[in-house]
A and B are shown apart, each in its own frame.
Chain A
Amino acid sequence: NAGVTQTPKFRVLKTGQSMTLLCAQDMNHEYMYWYRQDPGMGLRLIHYSVGEGTTAKGEVPDGYNVSRLKKQNFLLGLESAAPSQTSVYFCASRIYTGELFFGEGSRLTVL
């Protein structure tokens, strides 16, 4: 089982460039999440979705946009990347209740 798959795994951007991170899950989960993980800080929620066609803001949504056009996919976009967005990004999914299943992470560096 693939579980939660994130692409790309690594990316280097220049300030002001845009990019999209793709998350795909094959577990038929309703809920999907994007977190960022920074040294010395816990995982922080950026945006989440409770079903196809829905999105909602988390703790740190500024500078990011998301879309959930298909149930299995959740896209995270950076329209104009900033050095403060250098981080490791994790996608996760779950059923209505229960634990989160995480992807392997996408490491983004903004120069």
Chain B
Amino acid sequence: EDQVTQSPEALRLQEGESSSLNCSYTVSGLRGLFWYRQDPGKGPEFLFTLYSAGEEKEKERLKATLTKKESFLHITAPKPEDSATYLCAVQAATGANNLFFGTGTRLTVIP
């Protein structure tokens, strides 16, 4: 069964304190792994898509990496505006019409 597990559930960082969020997945053939950001009361906002192990993508203070079993979202020198819930989702090669979402990591960056 396709499964996505994110850790930690919540993370509090001081401004400038770098860290990583984890997304472990089990899927029958990975077509793509997606990272989204969700602010309170809003819909998820797309950040990255990763397709194969070893791939990396960057955007401002965020960098996403992918292995065969997990993905990391690295946050370098975070700012308070980076506070949000970060969601990971996988798209399987079979059943490609759906994305399976994790429960998210709620990140709080303290000034």
In the bound complex, do residue B34 and residue A42 qualify as a contact, i.e. CB atoms below 8 Å apart?
Answer: no
A26 neighbours in B (Cβ, 8 Å): none
Cβ < 8 Å to A, chain B residues 54-111:
87, 89, 97-104
Q: How far is the CA of A45 from the CA of B2 in the complex (A)?
A: 14
Q: With A90-B44, A99-B34 given, is the CB distance from A43 to B87 under 8 Å? A: yes
Q: Residue of B at shortest CB range from A31?
A: B97
B109 CB → nearest A CB, Å: 22
Tally chain A residues at the interface, Cβ within 8 Å. Answer: 25
How many residues does chain B have at the interface if contact means C-beta atoms less than 8 Å apart?
A: 20
* With A41-B103, A42-B87, A42-B101 as contacts: A100 and B46 at CB distance below 8 Å: yes
Query: Inside 8 A of B100's CB, which chain A residues have their CB?
Result: 42
On whether the beta carbons of B97 and A102 are closer than 8 Å, the reply is no
Q: Are B103 and A98 in contact (CB under 8 A)?
A: no
3 cross-chain pairs, A with B, having the tightest CB-CB distances, nearest first: A102-B43, A42-B101, A43-B101
Contacts A42-B104, A98-B49 aside, 4 further interface pairs with beta carbons under 8 A come to: A31-B97, A48-B97, A99-B34, A99-B49
Binding site for B on A (CB under 8 A): 4, 31, 35, 40-45, 48, 50, 56, 58-59, 90, 92, 97-105
